[in-house]
Amino acid sequence: MTYPEQLPDGAGRFGPFGGRYIPETLTAAVSELERAYLEAREDVGFRAELDRLHRTYTGRPTPVTFAARLTGHCGGARIWLKREDLAHTGAHKINNALGQGLLAKRMGKRRVIAETGAGQHGVATATVCALLGLECVIYMGTEDMARQRPNVFRMRLLGAEVRGVDSGSRTLKDAINEAMRDWVTNPDSYYLLGSALGPHPYPLMVRDFQSVIGREARAQLLEAEGRLPDVVVACVGGGSNAIGIFHAFVGDSEVALRGVEAGGLGVESGRHAARFAGGQLGVLHGTRTLVLQDEDGQIALTHSVSAGLDYAAVGPEHAYLKETGRASYTYATDSEALEVFQLLCRTEGIIPALESSHAVAEAVKLARAMRPDQIILVNLSGRGDKDIFSVAEQLGVKMEP
């Protein structure tokens, strides 16, 4: 099946997925956002300003690195890393935060609301708000605040107000609920959603802002290797880094696309965030997609060692990529991710985010079964400095924070 060029459609649909399932109280604000974004998208001046800031502030283009020792260790396909860990604030999240921050400014907004799980999107948003002079309120589940204390302090240093969310499971989904409640109450604020999720136009807009990853990587690999990779691998929480690197390759039918979800303690344990392994069609946070839920349609509690993959719904475009067969999805467990986290530290001198370690774990498995003349491109979506405390804890190492 060929993958259609122009997606989503005007209603924000990717086949049967996506759409806009929002309370009427948000309709005016979301419609205003859609109009403003579609206009900005066509504006050469807007794109030029974003490019300029990416060059001079974000540090783009980020390089691709040939992982020579990791490749040697696996004894198979050549592994390349797209180094989003080297972007300002240490992850791909800045690509989207900067794009939407400029849009907020263009719309004349003064106050920005965002949710965060691991804290990476919150840090990126707080950073952009400081850069652009916008007031910033970040919602974060209190459970996540406890796991990611350094990021909470970073956001506060950057001038953001961090509001703990004590409802529900006290993680990302509850932070999104609370951010949406804030937006309903303050429709003049700008809601800077962090992943390729939520009501239309977010999945489109976040993909657009993240697709710089794949555009750069595609050109960089063509130059370095003289050809395209055989497989592109990325981890999938909401799915913004994955859609960001996949998008430029969707039309290259010879390139396989491989998404890696959080297998947590194993899919059979029920404690995971592998929507493609255990999810059902549903609606969460404004979009129709695969959702982990119980038999009564209540949203399931998810688990992953990495807070950034710990979410019950997958971005709607990934659901569609899976359904059309254009991309395939698998998962890596907590322990596989932890093992590869250490492997990459020792073989390449790179401390990867636990999220990105899921993608590297799959690349290692694939490489072993592939020929040495084949190429794997992995999106190293973030750096792992934020994770050292939780990794120490997992490894039974006592560390004074």
Partner 1 sequence: MSRIAGTFERLDREKRCALMPYLAIGFPERDSVLELAPALVEGGADMLELGMPFSDPLADGATIQRATERALRNGIRVEDCLNTVRRLRRQGIDIPLLLMGYYNPIMRYGEERFAEHAAAAGVDGLIIPDLPPEEAEPLRAACAERGIDIIFFLTPTSTDERMAQVAQRASGFIYCVSLAGVTGARSQLSPALGPFLERVRRFSTLPRAVGFGISRPEHVAQISSMAEGAIVASALINKLEQLPPAQHRDAAREFVAALSSATRRG
Kind of pairing between the strands at 161-165 and 135-141: parallel
27 binds partner 1 (CB under 8 A): yes
Binding test (CB under 8 A) with partner 1, winner from 8, 14, 17, 29: 29
- Give me the DSSP letters along 299-368: BPP---SSGGG--SB--HHHHHHHHTTSEEEEEEEHHHHHHHHHHHHHHHS--B-HHHHHHHHHHHHHHH
Q: How far is CA 309 from the centre of its chain?
A: 8
> Is there binding between residue 56 and partner 1 (CB under 8 A)?
no
Choice from 299, 332, 338, 359 touching partner 1 (CB under 8 A): 299
Between 22 and 332, CB nearer to partner 1: 22
Work out the burial of residue 291: count CB atoms within 10 Å of its CB; fewer than 13 is exposed, 13-18 middle, 19 or more buried. Answer: buried
Among 77, 112, 128, 180, binds partner 1 (CB under 8 A): 180
| Choices 17-25, 85-93, 247-255, 323-331; region in contact with partner 1 by CB under 8 A | 17-25
The CA distances from residue 383 to 88, 212, 222, 264, in Å, are 11, 18, 25, 20
- The Cα-based distances of 64 to 223, 369, 380 in angstroms read 11, 23, 9
Least spacing, CB of residue 22 vs partner 1, in Å:
6
The residue type of 275 is R
Residue 83 as a binder of partner 1 (CB under 8 A): the answer is no
The helix (run of H) or strand (run of E) holding residue 135 is strand 135-141
Q: Which stretch binds partner 1 (CB under 8 A): 74-82, 130-138, 184-192, 204-212?
A: 184-192
Residue selected from 186, 324, 335, 347 as contacting partner 1 according to rule CB under 8 A = 186
The answer to whether 381 is a known catalytic residue is: yes
For 368: left if phi > 0, alpha if psi spans -120 to 50, otherwise beta; the answer is alpha
The strand pairing partners of 4, in sequence order, are: none
174 binding partner 1? (CB under 8 A): yes
Does residue 172 belong to the site contacting partner 1 (CB under 8 A)? no
* Minimum separation from the CB atom of position 115 to partner 1 (A): 11
Tokens 């395939």 correspond to 328
CB of 272 to partner 1, least distance (A): 18
Q: Does residue 25 belong to the site contacting partner 1 (CB under 8 A)?
A: yes
- Of residues 270-289, those binding partner 1 (CB under 8 A): 280-286
Catalytic residue among 84, 115, 348, 355: 115
76 contributes a contact to partner 1 by CB under 8 A: no
In angstroms and rounded to an integer, the radius of gyration of the C-alpha atoms of the chain is 19
10 binds partner 1 (CB under 8 A): no
Asked about 254 being catalytic, the answer comes back as no
101 contacts partner 1 (rule: CB under 8 A): no
H or E stretch covering 162: strand 161-165
Per CB under 8 A, 292 contacts partner 1: no
295 binds partner 1 (CB under 8 A): yes
Closer of 296 and 373 to partner 1 (Cβ): 296
Residue 93 annotated in active site? yes
Region of 75 on the Ramachandran plot (φ > 0 left; ψ -120 to 50 alpha; else beta) = left
| Interaction between residue 2 and partner 1 (CB under 8 A) | no
Exposed, middle or buried: residue 67 (CB in 10 Å: 0-12, 13-18, 19+)?
buried
Residue 291 engages partner 1 in binding (rule: CB under 8 A): yes
**Residue carrying the six token digits 């492997």:** 343
Q: Catalogue the active-site residues.
A: 93, 115, 381
Q: Which residues bind partner 1 (CB under 8 A)?
A: 11, 19-25, 27-29, 31, 167-168, 173-174, 176-177, 180-181, 184-187, 280-286, 291, 293, 295-299
